Amino acid sequence: MRFASRVQSRNVLRACHSNSAQNVQEFDALTEKYEELKKENESLIDKYKRALAETENMRKRSERLVEEAKTFAIQGFCKDLLEVADVLDMALKSMEKEKMKDDSLKNLYEGINMTKSSLMKVFIKHGLVQIAPEGRKFDPNFHEAVYEVPVDQAEHPPGHVSHVLNVGYCLHTRPLRPAKVGVVNKPDNTFFLKAKTWQTDEETVVDPMDHLFILIIMDRDHHRHKHSKSKKSLDENRHSRESKHKNGSKKHSGSYKHRNEKRRHRSSSSSSLSCEEKRSRKRHSRKKKYDLADATTNGDISDSAGTSQSLASLLKINKIKDSQDSSKQPTAHCIRTDELKNGQDISEDDTEHSKEDSPKKTIQATNIPFPQSFTGQSSTWYDITIQPLPPPPPPVPLPPPLPFSYLSCIEPPPPPPPPPPVEAIPSTGVLASPKPLSIPAPVPPPKRFRPYVLKPRDLPKISEGWGVGTADKYRIIEQVGEGTYGQVYKASEDNHCQLVALKKVRLENEKEGFPITAVREIKILRQLDHPNIVKLLDIVTGKNAPGSAEQSPAQQSPNIRNDFILKQKQRSYFCNLPSSVASSFYLVFEYVDHDLMGLLDSQLVDPSELQVASLMKQLLLALSYCHMRGFLHRDLKCSNILISKSGQLKLADFGLARLYQERLYKIEKPFAEQQPPELLLGEERYGPWVDIWSAGCILAELFIKKPIFQGQTEIHQLEVITSYCGSILPEVWPGVTELSGWATMRPRGHSSRKLREKFSFLPAQALDLLDLLLQLDPTKRPTASHALNHPWLIRVEPELVPPLKLPQDQDCHEMWSKRRRQQVRLSLASSTSQQIERHFNTSTMKQFDYLVIGGGSGGIASARRARQFKAKVGLIEIDRLGGTCVNVGCVPKKVMYNAACHAEFLRDHADYGFEAPLVKFNWSKLKQTRDEYIRRLNSIYQTNLEKDEIEIIRGKAKFAEDGSVIVQGVEGQQQCKGTHTLIAVGGTPIIPNDIEGAEKVVVVGAGYIAVELAAILAELGSETYLLIRFDKVLRTFDDTLSEALTNQLKQGPVKLMTHTKVKKVEKDNVSGKLTIYTDRNAVLESVDQLIWAIGRKPLTTELNLPAVRIETTEKGYIKVDEYQNTTRNGIYAIVAISAGRRLAHRLFNGEKDNRLLHENISTVVFSHPPLGTTGLTEREAVDKFGRDNIKVYTSNFTNMYFAMTTYKEKTFMKLVCAGKDEKVVGIHILGMGADEMLQGFAVCVRAGLTKKQFDELFIRPQQKS
C-alpha cells in the first residue's frame, strides 16, 4: 500500500516536473514572441513618425510650390501688360509728334485712348499705377517702362502683384530694403560710398543700383525756412531731448552715428512724399545747427533735415498717388540729403550756426536713366560733380488720381536748365578742388541680397515719319487674302509705284479698342529683321479705305468688282463701331508674289528634292532666328509661308506669335491640321517645339501636295496622328498622362509607328528628318538650329539652288486658289445644282455628331450604338426602315425558306406514318403574312429610333463640297452636317441592258441568291430552271462543298443547266409569257417570271461622291480600309451590321482598335440543303500557310432524319487545319442543320482550337454510318 502510494507520488512529481519544463518552454516562446512583437511595434511607430514627417514636408512643399506658381504666373501677366502699354504709348506719342488735325487721325487717336483706358483699368485692378514722365519729350527709340506698385509688399500675401513687380521691367524676387550710406573723404581727396546693409553691421562699398536708391547730397539750409517753427516749440523740443539724455535714454543718444546704426530703413515701391515731409518737420523742429568741428569728430553722415522736397520733384518723375491716403503710404527707397564740409565726414551735433552764414556748396550725385543704366547683374557708375544747388523750386502740384486723360500729355514741359558750374571754391569751403570726383568701382553685396532683374529688350531704331502716314497714298489692286483678323490687299504706292501688301486690321469684334493680335504683330515684327521674315514697312490710317468706292473713278482699280465693293461697304466700321472710332488701320508689308498653299493647290509647280530642301532650310532659318529672339510663331502653315518670284521664302502672319517664357499660355490658336498633339491634349506650358511639329507637317506637304493630318475634330486629329506616329503611351512620351486632356482625348487602342512605311517613297535623308520633326514627345524633337545641321540640309545653299518655275503672270495665293476651285465647280455644276446651292446658302444647316445615310440594319445598328454614347445622331432614309435585309433580303427570304422546309417535311410525312391528303399551297396567304411581318419590323425600327431620340430625315441624300449632305425630300430640301458621316446605303439588283426583250425584268443569277430562290420556288411547286455560266454554283466557296451542292441540285427538283447564257428574251404581248433563248440553242417557252441574280450594285451613284473626293472602284463600290475609313476624313462606309456597331465604339467610346475581322465571319446559304462556312477555304489556307502546312479532314454521312425517308440526303463536313498542332482555320458544312451547327463551330475557330480539342466537342449532327 505504501509502495503504491510512493510510486503514485513519484509519478505525480514526474508529471509536475514535466509540466513545469513544458511551461518554461512555453514561457520562453511567448517571451521571444513578445520581443518580436515589441520590435515590430517599434518599427511601425518609427515608420508612422517618418510618414507623418514626410506628409508634413510634402504639405509645406506643395504650399511653397503653389505660392511660387502664383508668383510665376502673375509675373508674365504683368510683363505682357507692360509690353502692350509700351506699344500704345509709342502710337499715341507718334501721333502727337506729327500734330495732324485730320478727323480720321483724331478718331483713331481716341480709339487708341479707349484701349489705353481699358488697360489702365486692368492695371488698377492688379495694383499698378502709372508714373508719367515729366520734363522730357517723347522719343520712340527710348524704351522705358513707367509703372510701379504703390503698396507695401509686406501687406499682401504671396502671389500678389506687389511681390513680383517693382518699377517697369525690374521684377524682384523679394522685397528690398536700402543700406545706410555715407560719403567719406579720404586723405587723397577722393571719395567713396560707405554703407551698412540692413541685415548686417559690416561696412562695405555698395553699388547704389544693387538696392535701387539714389544718393543726393544737398545743402539743408535752402529748405529750413519751409519747416521752421516757433521758438517756444523749439525750446520745448530741445528741453525734452536734453532731459531724456541726462536720464540715460538710449533712444536720444547724443551720437547720431550710434542712432543711425540702430535704425533700419524700410524700402518699398510706393511713393513716400508725406512720410518724408513728416520726418523732415520733426527733425527741423529741433532747430539744430551743425558745426564743422563736430562733423569731423563723428566721421559719418546722418539723416538730413533738408529732405523736404519729394523724390518725384528731385528726379523729374511725377508719381501719381491719392493725396487723401498719402499719410498712410510707407516709406520709399532711401533718399539721403546730406552736407559734406571741409573734406571730412559729417555728423550731427547740438551746436548751431547763425542764419547769416554764407550758403554752403554741395556735392550732388545723379544717376543714369534707369532702363539703360545697367546690363543684367553688372554694376553702375555714378557721375558725382560739385555744383551749387539752385534755389528750391516751387511745390509740384499733385495730379489727379488714375484714370487720367492721356490727351493732356501731348506737350510735356521742357526739362529745367542745368545749374551753372562752380568756378571757384574758397579754401574754407567744402572742397578745395573743382574737378569732378571719381568713385572707385563698387563691390557688389552677397548674392543673397541681389534682386533678379530682367533687362528690357533693345528695340530697333524707328525711321522718321514711321507710323504717322495715311492710306490715301496707296491704291488697291486686288484682295489676296482674308482671315479671322482682317483682310489683305495687293496695293501700289502712288509716288514710287512700289507694290505693297496692306493688311486691314479688323475692329468690328473689338468692343474696347485696338485688337491685341495686331499689337503683338507690330511689336514683334519691329524686333525681327531677317531675310526670311516678311518686313513691316509702315502703319497707316485712314477714314476711307484705299481704293474704295469713295475715291475717284480714276483711282479705282478695274479689277475690283462692284459686288466686292458692296461687300466691303457692308463690313464697314460705321455699321459696327461708334463714330468716334470709325477709322481704318492698315499694316504695310512688303509684297510677296505667292504663298505656299496657293502654289501647291494650283498644281502649277512641281519642286524637285533639292528645291524642297532649299525651302525647308529657309523656313528653319526663319524659325531658328525667331526662337533665338524668344518668339513663338504658333500659326505655322502653308498659307503663312510666302514665296517670291525669285524663290525666296518669307515667314508671315505673326498675329498669334508671342514671347516665349516658362509660364502658362492660353491655347489661342484654333484647331488646325498642323496643330501638335501636346496642344490637342491640353498642354499649357509649351515652347518652340510646337513650331517644329508644324514644320514637319509642311515638309510632308511639300512632297505629297496635301496636308498629312486631315482630322475634322481634335479627337479625330489625334487618331490620324497616331495612325502615322504610333500610339501615345507613357513609354513613348513620358509625362503625357499629366496633361489635362489625357483622360478624355487620348486615342484608345494600340498602333505601331508607321510614318516611315507610309512615306517610304521619300528620299532617305528627307524621311529621316521628317521622322525627327514629327516625334510625339516634344522633348525628342530637334530645335530649328539642330535641324539645320541635318545631313539633308547642311550642305544646301538656297541662293545657289535653281529657283522654282513659278507662274509669272499670276500671283498664286490662298484666296486665288479658292476662287479658282469655286469657278471650276460652278462651271461643271448643272442649273439645278446651282439653285440648290443658292437655296442652302441662306438656309439653316442641321448639325449632328453622327450622320448616317441609309436606314438599313447596319446603319440603324450603328446609329443606336452611337446614341448610347451620348452622341447627337441623325439618320437619312427615303424608303422603309430596315433596308434590303428586312424588306427584300434576309427576312422575306428566310420566311419563304421556312415555307419550303415545310414542303419538304410534308413530302416525307408518309415515310413517318402520316396518311394525309395532298395539302394545297396558297401563295397569296404566304405573301400576306410575310408582308405583315415586315411592316411590323418597320414599325419596331421606327419606335426604337424615336425612343433613342435619333432624328429621322426623309429624303434622298447628296454630298456637297464642304462635306455636308443635301437631303431632297417630299416636303422640300434641307442641309445636314455631321462631324462623322456614315454611308450605309446598301445595293440594288443589277439589271442587264444587253438582252433583247421586255422592258421590266426581275434579275436572277447563279450566286447564293439564285441558289436560294431556285430551291425555294422548286420546293413550293414551281417548275424551276437554274441557268449558270460555269460547271458549278457558289464558285467562291470551298470547292468540295460547291461541287456537293451542285450535285444535290442536279438531283432535283431544280432543273440545273450548266454552261448556259441567256441570249434573247421575247414576250408574248397577249399572254405575257416569256420565251428565253440561250447560247446553246435551248429554248424555254411559256416562262412566267425571269429572275436575274447576277449580282448587285451599290446605291452610290446619287450621293455625288466626287464632290467630297471619295474614291470608288469601277463598279461604284466605296474604297475603305480595315477601320471603315473612306478617302475623306470623317466619312465612313460599312456593309455588315457588326462593322457599324464597332465603328460607333471606335468613334464615340474611344476604342481605337475596335474593328471587324472579316476572315472569320460565318456565312450561311439557305439552299436545300443549307450550306454553312466559317474561316478559310482550302484554297485560301494553302495560299496563306503553304500546301505542306495544311491538313484537310472530310466526312460525309446521312443525317438520322433521312434514315426513315425515301429521299436520302448526304451531309458533308470539312475541316481545314494548319501547322503541327493542327489548328482549325476553316470549317465547312453542307446538310440539314448546318446553319445552326455553324454558330458553335465559329466560336471554336475564333478561339483557335486544334483538331484534337475539336474532336472532344459534341456540337455535331446526329449521324448514321
Tens of pLDDT, residues 7-64: 566 676 677 666 777 778 888 888 888 888 888 888 888 888 888 888 888 888 777 7
Q: Does residue 925 surpass a pLDDT of 50? A: yes
Q: Would you state the CATH architecture of domain 991-1094? A: 3-Layer(bba) Sandwich (3.50)
Q: How confident is the model at residue 931 (pLDDT cuts 50, 70, 90)?
A: confident
CA atoms within 13 A of residue 1226's CA, in its CB half-sphere: 27
Closest C-alpha among 526, 517, 409 to residue 463: 526
Give residue 326's identity as a one-letter amino acid code: S
Q: What percent of the chain has pLDDT over 70?
A: 58
* Cβ(183)–Cβ(190) below 8 Å: no
How confident is the model at residue 882, as a pLDDT?
83
Domain boundaries, the chain: 175-235+254-407+425-449, 607-807, 843-988+1099-1148, 991-1094, 1158-1264
Helix, strand, coil percentages, rounded to 5, for the chain: 40, 15, 45
Question: Residue 586's beta-bridge partner residues?
Answer: 504, 540
Per-residue pLDDT tens digits for 461-481: 545 556 667 788 888 888 888
Give how far Cα 1196 sits from Cα of 176, 675, 699, 967, Å: 100, 63, 63, 55
Grid look-up 517610304 returns 760
The larger pLDDT score, comparing residue 832 to residue 125, is at 125
Over 80: is that where the pLDDT of 611 sits? yes
Quick: pLDDT tens for 722-745: 989 998 988 999 989 888 888 767
Over range 1090-1099, report the average pLDDT. Answer: 78
What pLDDT score was predicted for residue 355? 38
User: Which contacts of 995-1002 are long-range, i.e. CB under 8 A and separated by 24 or more positions?
Assistant: 995/1062, 995/1064, 995/1065, 996/1064, 996/1065, 996/1066, 997/1064, 997/1065, 997/1066, 997/1067, 997/1074, 998/1065, 998/1067, 998/1074, 1001/1065, 1001/1090, 1001/1092, 1002/1089, 1002/1090, 1002/1091, 1002/1092
Averaging pLDDT over each range in 281-295, 362-376, 1081-1095, which range is the top one? Answer: 1081-1095
Read off the pLDDT of residues 485-502 as tens digits, 9 standing for 90 and up: 678 889 888 766 789 999
> What is the per-residue pLDDT across 641-653, written as a single tens digit (0 to 9) for each?
999 988 899 999 8
The per-residue pLDDT for 610 is 93
- The phi, psi pair for 344, rounded to 5°, reads -130, 170
Q: Does residue 584 or residue 949 have the better pLDDT?
A: 949
pLDDT digits (tens, 9 = 90+) for 161-184: 333 333 333 333 333 333 333 444
Q: Please tell me the distance from the alpha carbon of residue 690 to that of residue 672, in angstroms, as a whole number.
A: 12
Which residues are known to be catalytic?
635
Higher pLDDT, 640 or 1062: 640
Question: What CATH number labels 607-807?
Answer: 1.10.510.10
As a whole number of angstroms, the distance between CA 657 and CA 230 comes to 66
Q: Which pLDDT value is given to residue 105?
A: 63
Q: Which CATH number fits domain 1158-1264: 3.20.20.80, 3.30.300.130, 3.40.50.720, 3.30.390.30?
A: 3.30.390.30
Annotation-wise, does 97 bind a ligand?
no
CB neighbours of residue 1051 within 10 Å: 11
Percent residues over pLDDT 90 in the chain: 11
For 78-109, what is each residue's pLDDT tens digit? 556 666 666 667 777 666 665 555 555 666 67
Helix (H), strand (E) at residue 542? strand 536-542
Looking at per-residue pLDDT, the higher value among 628 and 238 belongs to 628
Q: Is residue 510 over pLDDT 80? A: no
Can you tell me whether residue 964 is helix, strand or coil?
A: coil
**Per-residue H/E/C for 889-955:** CHHHHHHHHHHHHHHHHHHCCCCCCCCCCCCCCCHHHHHHHHHHHHHHHHHHHHHHHHHCCCEEECC
**pLDDT grade for 1237, boundaries at 50, 70 and 90:** confident
Q: Beta-carbon neighbour count of residue 698 at 10 Å?
A: 24
Q: 513-517, 549-553, 1159-1163: which has the highest mean pLDDT?
A: 1159-1163
Which residues lie closer than 8 Å to 434 by C-beta, 6 or more apart?
386, 421, 422, 423, 424, 425
When pLDDT is averaged across residues 432-448 and rounded to a whole number, the result is 42
Rounded Cα distance between 1218 and 243, Å, is: 117
Architecture, CATH, for domain 843-988+1099-1148: 3-Layer(bba) Sandwich (3.50)
In whole angstroms, give the CA distance from residue 289 to residue 286.
9
pLDDT of residue 312: 34
pTM over 0.75: no
Domain 843-988+1099-1148 and domain 991-1094 have a common topology: yes
Nearest one of 178, 385, 219 to 308, comparing CA atoms? 219
Contacts with 475 (C-beta within 8 Å, 6 or more apart), sequence order: 491, 492, 494, 546, 547, 555, 557
CB neighbourhood size of 827 (10 A): 7
Note whether 415 and 135 are within 8 A (CB).
yes
Q: Are strands 203-204 and 631-632 parallel, antiparallel or unpaired?
A: unpaired
The pLDDT, as a whole number, for residue 207 is 39
* Signed CA dihedral, 59, 60, 62, 67: sign only: positive
Q: Give the integer Cα–Cα distance in Å for 1074 and 225.
A: 133
